[in-house]
Amino acid sequence: MAAHGFDWIDYYNLARNLAGRADEASRRSAISRAYYYVYHLALARAVSNGFQIRAGEGSHSQLWRNYSGSPDFDCKRLAIIANRLKEKRERADYEKSYPRVDEEVDELINDAQKFANTLGTLPLRFPNPAHVRQ
């Protein structure tokens, strides 16, 4: 393990690689890695602004509520993208049948890139848990 920590871009790169393969397992895994790339980028940003995961509810739900409840329009947009990716990731990971995986995988990889690009242009003060509307 590297001393500097894991770089989440490696999940995105892996997702792109897996999406280019013909087998369904690779394509499903690509969706999962794309989601976790987005999740970890978003979590790092939120934590840098004081976000803390609380016991009793899933960290993913808490994180995306932190974004969706923000007064910033781009944070809300990021939550929409993330929740879509999360839903597709859950489908890819848990459902026996995923008939449109071949059609959706490239679009979801692109969504992950859009998420990263938008997060990169977001003012550093967002998302701020102190400003989240409950």
Instruction: Give the relative orientation of helices 101-121 and 9-19 as an angle to the nearest 10 degrees.
Output: 160
pLDDT for 131: 86
Average pLDDT over residues 18-23: 97
Q: Residue 49: which pLDDT band, with cuts at 50, 70 and 90?
A: very high
Say yes or no to pLDDT of 1 above 80. Answer: no
Segments making up each domain of the chain, as ranges: 10-131
pTM listed for this prediction: 0.94
Look over the chain and give the mean of its residue pLDDT values, rounded to a whole number. Answer: 95
Distance CA 88, CA 103 (A): 12
Q: And the tokens for 16?
A: 């792109």
Q: What element of type H or E holds 118?
A: helix 101-121
DSSP letters along 56-70, please? TS-HHHHHHHHHHTS
Q: Residue 26: which pLDDT band, with cuts at 50, 70 and 90?
A: very high
Residue 2, amino acid: A
Q: And the tokens for 107?
A: 């679009």
pLDDT for 132: 85
